[in-house]
Structure 1
């Protein structure tokens, strides 16, 4: 067991945003979170990262309620790449990635070889080693997203949470980024809009609608024509190949 939620409910005022949400993300797997806008995906991710507190229910890491885990310890364990992550100053890429080491350093500790090694490995995994000395404002959108992921990896997390990281990227960078995340040796939970990317890269999927989980399981089990019509209001044909179990969605006019 890695991350688990039990009967999670979260509200804004009297409006229920998440309603009795329960699921488990298994260690080392990539869990995709799908749903129309307003279904509660971003709110759920922020609860998983400990940035919001549930009104009822719980989020646990390895059986420990995250309410009992300090912010520093949480940041050493879980990394969160937000949908609109931004870096305002024109830092070098390596300086942006170094920010990920802060949870592992005390007020009085100096920069260590372990910090250097973690940053170098994160840059390498994210394919940003050759850009380490480039200025932030010179990067493309895809490179900025990879730098944010490198900063998250520099935290040395066991769980990586990403909120629609492929938004506003061209198709080449979308595929490249999804391949990167799926190859990482961590438990990842990723909110996505592209259903084919979810089917192609995720081990399991959760589909949300109006704050509730309406389907969960392997992509080939839950991505059906009925679900696409009922949840996403689209007419589509779902195909699988005898040589490849992953479904592919063809949208109909």
Structure 2
């Protein structure tokens, strides 16, 4: 197993945001997290990344309780790409990616050839090698997202958690980014709004509503017309895509 959550509960004051959520992510697979706004997706991702602690339930990495793992150790294992990640505008692309090496270095250790190699590989995998010396403010939205993913990859994670990374990107960059993430040979958990992107790229889906898990399964199992209507409040027809083996949703006017 990779990441496992058991009966998670997380509240803000008296309001329950995550209510009894359990899940398991198998190594090497891409898990899509879907649900309407306010369903608890971002909060769940932050719990899984160890950035927040649940009031009840537990999260384990390969059977070890996350509460018993040092924060630096978690950062060596799990990388989190936030939806609205901020970066100092004066930095170059390569400097942003170098930040991903901090969990692997002690306070007094110098920069090493291994760090250089990890950064170069991360830039290559994210398709940003040619932009390595470009200033941050000169990048497009898609390039900035790829840079954040490169920084996460420089951590050498076994699990990659992403919160709606395609938001505010044009369709070309959305598809390009999803292809990049799905090509990575690591476990990934990704919150998405686009149901067709989730069906096309994810191995497994979890549908959330009001802090609870509605259903779990493959895109073929999960995507139903009844689910579209009851959870997402839209009418749609599930069709076989002419371009890939996954289901495609045709939304009705």
Rounded Cα–Cα distance in structure 2 between residues aligned with 1:158 and 1:246: 26
Q: Is the 8 A contact 2:94 2:133 kept in 1?
A: yes
Rounded Cα–Cα distance in structure 2 between residues aligned with 1:51 and 1:83: 14
Q: Structure 2 unaligned segments of length 5 or more: list them.
A: none
Q: Is the 8 A contact 1:220 1:245 kept in 2?
A: no
**Aligned position for 1:131:** 131
Rounded Cα–Cα distance in structure 1 between residues aligned with 2:139 and 2:215: 38
Rounded Cα–Cα distance in structure 1 between residues aligned with 2:217 and 2:90: 42
Secondary structure of residue in 2 paired with 1:245 = coil
**Aligned position for 2:39:** 39
Report which stretch shifted further, 240-249 or 221-230.
Answer: 240-249
Rounded Cα–Cα distance in structure 2 between residues aligned with 1:151 and 1:37: 27
Rounded Cα–Cα distance in structure 2 between residues aligned with 1:166 and 1:68: 33
Q: Residues 70-105 of structure 1: CA distance to partner in whole angstroms, max 9, x if unpaired?
A: 010000000000000111332010000000000000
Q: Residues 177-202 of structure 1: CA distance to partner in whole angstroms, max 9, x if unpaired?
A: 00000000110000000000000000
Change beyond 3 A, Cα 1:164–1:241: closer
Q: Residues 32-59 of structure 1: CA distance to partner in whole angstroms, max 9, x if unpaired?
A: 0000000000000000010101000001
Q: Which aligned segments of 4 or more residues in structure 1 are displaced greater than 2 angstroms?
A: 241-245
Shift in Å at residue 244 of structure 1? 4.3
**Aligned position for 1:171:** 171
Q: Residues 11-69 of structure 1: CA distance to partner in whole angstroms, max 9, x if unpaired?
A: 01111111110010000000000000000000000000101010000011000111000
1:29-68 equivalent positions in 2, closer than 5 A: 29-68=29-68
Q: Is the 8 A contact 1:179 1:201 kept in 2?
A: yes
Secondary structure of residue in 2 paired with 1:110 = coil
Q: Structure 1 unaligned segments of length 5 or more: list them.
A: none
**Aligned position for 2:159:** 159
Q: How many residues align?
A: 253
Secondary structure of residue in 2 paired with 1:229 = helix
Rounded Cα–Cα distance in structure 1 between residues aligned with 2:115 and 2:37: 39
Change beyond 3 A, Cα 1:53–1:142: same
Q: Is the 8 A contact 2:27 2:186 kept in 1?
A: yes
Q: Residues 111-161 of structure 1: CA distance to partner in whole angstroms, max 9, x if unpaired?
A: 111100000000000000000000000000000000000000000000000
Change beyond 3 A, Cα 1:160–1:243: closer
Rounded Cα–Cα distance in structure 2 between residues aligned with 1:90 and 1:173: 24
**Aligned position for 1:19:** 19
Secondary structure of residue in 2 paired with 1:174 = helix
